Amino acid sequence: MAKNKLKRFAEMETLPNVFQPGYVELYRHDYIYKGKWNAEVFHNNHPIVLEIGCGKGEYTVELGKLYPEKNFIGIDIKGARMWKGAKTALETGMDNVVFIRMYAEMLASAFAPGEISEIWITFPDPQMAKARKRLTGTRFLNLYKQIITPGAWIHLKTDSPFLYAYTTALIQANHLKADICTDNLYASGLNDTILNIKTFYEKQWLSRGKNIKYIRFTLNNTGLLEEPDIEIERDDYHSEARHMVHKDLNQ
């Protein structure tokens, strides 16, 4: 497994659809492509959609197939996982999909205001002990506001009851607009091709009888967001299920 990881890390350096800015390039600096992703990377003016915590890149790649008139960027810090999506996009000739290996905390250094038209967050760690690390928490939502267009949709798919309850409460506390909010996506009657894309993790959770939750919402343009003042029961998300499938992540 370690040997495969090293091989993939080495190959990532050579893939033209993968960008790996160093920490210094993003810390207190603007990345060279900030505000220039369309002009210098995609060579068009199509809307850019961002998947945060893209893992193996399944959603990024499948969205790119469905919408060739849009550009897609998957970001994650774990390169060995991202390698699969990058290779798939490259081998199938997709010129509207790229990947960035970076921390989500540095989004404002990589993208200009209004550069991102839509955000997907698919099966993130709910970070039940640390609100600052939740990708739908106020810290990150306030970051997203710096790079998205007004009214941009933010999508969350999760199997975690905790993260679903937390995000729903945050939306209500801050009077945000949510046009879809379901705790059982595949029993909701929503007929949307995008929502039927299933990641590696999602297939695992469905096979274990977990319900998939989905929220689509937008952010207000002004004012900092506030955390919801509620207690939320923790769930078993940590679980052995993730430990059991971890060995498959590099296959």
Is 235 annotated as catalytic?
A: no
| Amino acid letter for position 198 | K
Q: Is 95 annotated as a binding residue?
A: no
How many CB atoms are located within 10 Å of the residue 183 CB?
Answer: 16
Q: Is 183 annotated as a binding residue?
A: no
Q: Is 200 annotated as a binding residue?
A: yes
Task: Enter the tokens of residue 27.
Answer: 């810390």
Place of tokens 């003016």: 45
| Positive/negative CA dihedral, 19, 199, 144, 194 | positive
The closest alpha carbon to 61, from 79, 80, 85, 42, belongs to: 85
The closest alpha carbon to 99, from 172, 211, 21, belongs to: 21
Question: What is the Cα–Cα distance from 75 to 68, expressed in whole angstroms?
Answer: 19
Q: Does residue 49 contact residue 118 with C-beta atoms inside 8 Å?
A: yes
Q: Give me the phi and psi of 109, to 5 degrees please.
A: -85, -20
Q: Does residue 104 contact residue 144 with C-beta atoms inside 8 Å?
A: no
How many CB atoms are located within 10 Å of the residue 200 CB?
Answer: 16
Q: Does residue 75 contact residue 99 with C-beta atoms inside 8 Å?
A: yes
Q: Is 125 annotated as a binding residue?
A: yes
- Active-site annotation holder among 30, 95, 125, 183: 125
Q: Is 159 annotated as a binding residue?
A: yes
> Which residues contribute to the annotated binding site for substrate?
159, 199-202
> Which residues contribute to the annotated binding site?
51, 76, 125, 159, 199-202
The residues carrying an active-site annotation are: 125
